[in-house]
Chains A and B, each alone.
Chain A
Amino acid sequence: MTPSLIVSYVGRRAIPFIQLYALYVLGHGEDGPGGGFQGGVIFASSFVLLVLIAGWARARKDAPESIVDPLTATGCLLYAGIGFICILLGGAYLEYEAFAGANATAAAKQHAHHFALIGIELGVMITVTASMVTLYFEMSRPPEERNAPEDGSGDSDGEGADA
């Protein structure tokens, strides 16, 4: 398959804007339609475009398993961790006002609430992006990539020892 000049030219220039738009949707989620999940899906879609214009192997180099896989856990960890820090600061789990401290003014609590909310939304976004990217790469893996060494876990030991 020879890549089309138009597709790759337009695609390359569209990707940064897609990613920027994803961040906009993330930041918007707090007081309007949008948020981490939607932002994450949009961010992941930029990688889908990358696969379409640059090919699977080249795109996988930009998003290698060694980075994407841990990010799946990291986003979730960010979410749960913010909740846990609230407990450490003396609030209930996910009680964001705890970040403002015990005797904070209403405005400061509001402020803390905003930032913690953006924090957990960012966590959602990271996990959603990483999961979507992984799903897409696994489902679109071309046949010549199927037996790549990174995929070869499992069957090496204990096969044939079935009862």
Chain B
Amino acid sequence: MAGQLPALAVVVPLLVALLIPLVSRFNRRAAWWMVVGALGFAVYGAVAMLLDLCGSPIGTTIEYAMGRWAAPTGIEYVVDRLNGIVLTMIAAVGLITALWMRKSIRSEISEKARPGYYATFLLCATGYMGMAITGDVFNLYVFLEIASITSYVLIGMGRTRQALYAGYSYLIVGSIGATFILLGIGHLYMEIGTLEMADIAQRFAANPELYDSSVVRTSFAFFTVGLAIKMALFPLHGWQPSAYSRAPSAASLFIAATATKVSAYVFYRISFSVFGADFLISALPHIRDGILILAVAAIFVGPLLAIRQRCLKRLLAYSSVGQIGYIMLGVVLLNEDGLTGGVIHFWNHAAAKGALFCVAGVLVYRTGVSRVDALAGMGRTAPWTSAVMTVAGLSMIGVPMTAGFLSKWYLGAGALDAGRISIVPVLMASSLFTAMYVWRLVQLVWFAPKDTEPLVKEEAPWSMRIPALVLAAACLYFGLTSTSVDIARDAALSLGLGAP
């Protein structure tokens, strides 16, 4: 059983997602329970694999050959510390979203469409799990398509007609991104002749002159641009704000907390486990500088754009643009501290952004609007939800004792280590801008004038409150303990970064 976990963590959600349309014909209530059960199992699988890896030496991997066809011939799932972290993030956020979403879905999606929504949601989670777990470049593309197409559908299921437009424009932009990734895979296959990640890496290690091949370089360029679209790296983030703000609250919660980060993970995987760290260091220093500039620009511009948003979900979407910048900064710094900072940010951002989207979802559930000023006075009527928002907001700023502080600390240390002191002021400015928009929210919630009538009349129902509290508690837990840092540091070391 334990040996089958890599397959089961993906197959069980897939099977259950396919069963939902059939079972829903007989029992409409079963769908939600099935989603929770399947994602609960996925969490168990991901956590068990991560714990297993944490107990073994750095560099250990869990491998699983599909149909027992050995690696270069067949498709292999490979779990190491890095994707253990990502898998845990996807499964945990998926489960928390599933627990959170029941009431929200009832108010936003018509009864007839609900089983379809649940099945699509679970397929979407399956797609992201598959992207994270696979050790085969083409299989990665297949899962990318599963995850993307289901995301388009989830976004299009929003309450208003604009949701269809947002879903459709994401479809167009996302398909261009996916095409670029496919072109990258095609070029790589043309030059190397294999699709297995470990096999490609071996061939690069055996023939370093392949790095000079223009086909290989073109391939990396396609991967970079395609993934940058998928992860909404500045300035390719245009699809993101309306997609997040128009989607049903439950979908934007899951997609905002996981989707773009899985693409960022794929960039880690492609850079380190396929092309090898030397490629970015020696062969393409200009590309590395280019990505560095874009990441820094995202860190600077994202929060700046967020400040002037009037819709809470749009505000959070622009803040995600900045947060992706942190994760990408971790890759291109190419040193231990920087990578550690980037890798822990997977968990930290998932917890903080998930909690904030829970709050946005509660706002929509209670008031029907997602304007920022509808938050006014919420602290009096919904103290729990407001507390969650405050904690998660502090974590976004990077206040010490919250998770966000650790990410920024390690990224700052990494920047100093890499001799790029000029990045540190940008990180600080970004924290300042973040503080500006978070403070605006905090002020509205807690310090509204006494005579304002709060639009949020009631506290969130328990089913929405507890998942949000869990995410907020995770922000504090990751900030106060070194668990996540230890795992992330080992993950960074296992990426095979040579001595600088």
Judge whether A159 and B160 touch: CB under 8 Å.
yes
A23 at the interface (CB under 8 A from B): no
* B480 interface hit (Cβ, 8 Å): no
Convert A22-45 into 0s and 1s, putting 1 for each residue whose CB lies closer than 8 angstroms to a CB of B. Answer: 000000000000000000000000
For B416, list chain A residues within 8 Å (CB): none
Q: Which of B60-68, B136-144, B199-207, B427-435 contacts A (4 or more CB under 8 A)?
A: B60-68
Using CB atoms, name the residue of chain A closest to B370: A163
Q: Which chain A residues (63-118) contact chain B, with CB distance < 8 Å?
A: 69-70, 72-74, 76-77, 80-81, 83-84, 86-87, 91-96
* A94, B161: Cα distance in complex, Å: 42
Which among A74, A153, A154, A156 is the interface contact of B22 at CB below 8 angstroms?
A74
A163 touches which of B25, B66, B311 (Cβ 8 Å): B311
Q: Does B8 contact A (CB under 8 A)?
A: yes
Which of chain B's residues has its CB closest to A116's CB? B67
Given A80-B11, A92-B64, A69:B21 Cβ within 8 A: yes
Tell yes or no: B2 within 8 A of A by CB.
no
Given known pairs A95-B68, A161-B369, the reply for A87 and B113 (CB within 8 Å) is: no
Complex Cα distance A154/B201, Å? 48
Chain B residue at minimal CB-CB distance from A160: B160
Q: Report A-chain residues with C-beta under 8 Å of the C-beta of B18.
A: 73-74, 76-77, 80
Q: What is the CA–CA distance of A94 and B21 in the complex, to the nearest angstrom? A: 23
Complex partner residue of A70 from B22, B108, B311, B369, CB under 8 angstroms:
B22
A83 in contact with B11 (CB, 8 Å): yes
- Measured between alpha carbons, how far is A159 from B113 in the docked complex, in Å? 15
- What B residues does A160 contact at CB under 8 A? 160
Residues A161 and B113 in contact in the complex (CB < 8 Å), given A73-B119, A77-B19, A84-B15: no
Q: B112: which A residues are within 8 A, CB to CB? A: 153
Q: Which residues of B lie under 8 Å from residue A83 when comparing CB positions?
A: 11
Which A residues from 116 to 163 make CB contacts under 8 A with B?
Answer: 153-163
| Complex contacts, A92 vs chain B, CB 8 Å | 4, 7, 64-68
A80 to B66, CA, bound (A): 12
**Cβ of B245 under 8 Å from chain A:** yes
Which residues of B sit under 8 angstroms from A76, Cβ to Cβ?
Answer: 18
Let me know if A96 and B67 touch, CB within 8 A. Answer: yes
Is A162 touching B162 in the complex (CB atoms < 8 A)?
A: yes
User: In the complex, A93 Cα to B110 Cα: how many Å?
Assistant: 37
Q: Which residues of B contact A158 (CB under 8 A)?
A: 107-108, 159-160, 368
> Within the assembled complex, what's the spacing in Å between the Cα atoms of A96 and B18?
21
Smallest beta-carbon distance B10→chain A, Å:
9
Which B residues lie within 8 Å of A69 (CB)?
A: 21
- Nearest residue in A to B314 (C-beta to C-beta)? A163
Query: Which of the listed residues A80, A91, A95, A163 has the most CB atoms from chain B within 10 Å of its own CB?
Result: A163
Contact A163-B110, Cβ < 8 Å, known A77-B18, A94-B67: no
A93–B12 Cα distance when bound, in Å, is 11
Bound CA span A155–B163, Å: 11
> Given contacts A83-B11, A87-B4, A154-B113, are A77 and B368 in contact (CB under 8 A)?
no
Q: How far is the CB of B342 from chain A (nearest CB, A)?
A: 32
Chain A positions within 8 Å of B364 at CB level: 163
Nearest residue (CB) in A for B77 is: A93
Q: Give the distance in Å from the alpha carbon of A74 to the alpha carbon of B119 in the complex.
A: 13
Q: Which of B20, B68, B108, B110 contacts A91 (CB 8 A)?
A: B68
**Interface contact A161-B15, CB-CB below 8 Å:** no
Q: Are A84's CB and B11's CB within 8 A?
A: yes
Instruction: Give the distance in Å from the alpha carbon of A157 to the alpha carbon of B112 in the complex.
Output: 12
- Using known A-B contacts A73-B18, A73-B21, A73-B119, determine if residue A93 contacts B11 with beta carbons closer than 8 Å: yes
Tell me, yes or no, whether B14 is within 8 Å of chain A by CB: yes
Closest to A92 in B: B68
- In the complex, which residues 59-79 of chain B have their Cβ closer than 8 Å to any Cβ of chain A? 64-68
Tell me if B371 counts as interface (CB < 8 A to partner A).
yes
Contact residues in A for B21 (Cβ distance below 8 Å): 69-70, 72-73
Which of A80, A153, A162 is close to B113, meaning CB atoms less than 8 Å apart? A153
Residue of B at shortest CB range from A161?
A: B368
Q: Identify A95's interface contact among B67, B119, B313, B370, CB under 8 A.
A: B67
Most buried by B among A70, A92, A159: A92
A29 CA to B368 CA, complexed, in Å: 54
Asked if B68 and A154 sit within 8 Å, CB to CB, the answer is: no
Is the beta-carbon distance between A154 and B371 smaller than 8 angstroms?
no
Distance in angstroms between the alpha carbons of A57 and B361 in the assembled complex: 42
Residue from B20, B22, B110 within 8 A of A157 (CB atoms): B110
* Complex CA–CA separation, A73 to B161 (angstroms): 27
Complex-state Cα separation, A93 to B4, whole angstroms = 8
Residue of A nearest to B65 (CB): A92
Seed contacts A77-B15, A80-B15, A155-B161; 6 additional CB < 8 Å A-B pairs: A74-B22, A77-B18, A153-B110, A158-B368, A161-B369, A162-B160
Question: Can you pick out 22 interface pairs between chain A and chain B where the beta carbons lie within 8 Å of each other?
Answer: A70-B22, A73-B22, A77-B15, A77-B19, A80-B11, A80-B18, A81-B15, A86-B67, A87-B7, A91-B68, A92-B4, A92-B64, A92-B65, A92-B66, A93-B64, A93-B67, A95-B68, A153-B110, A158-B368, A163-B245, A163-B311, A163-B371
Residues of A at the B interface (CB closer than 8 Å) are: 69-70, 72-74, 76-77, 80-81, 83-84, 86-87, 91-96, 153-163
Closest 3 CB pairs of A and B: A163-B370, A94-B67, A93-B7
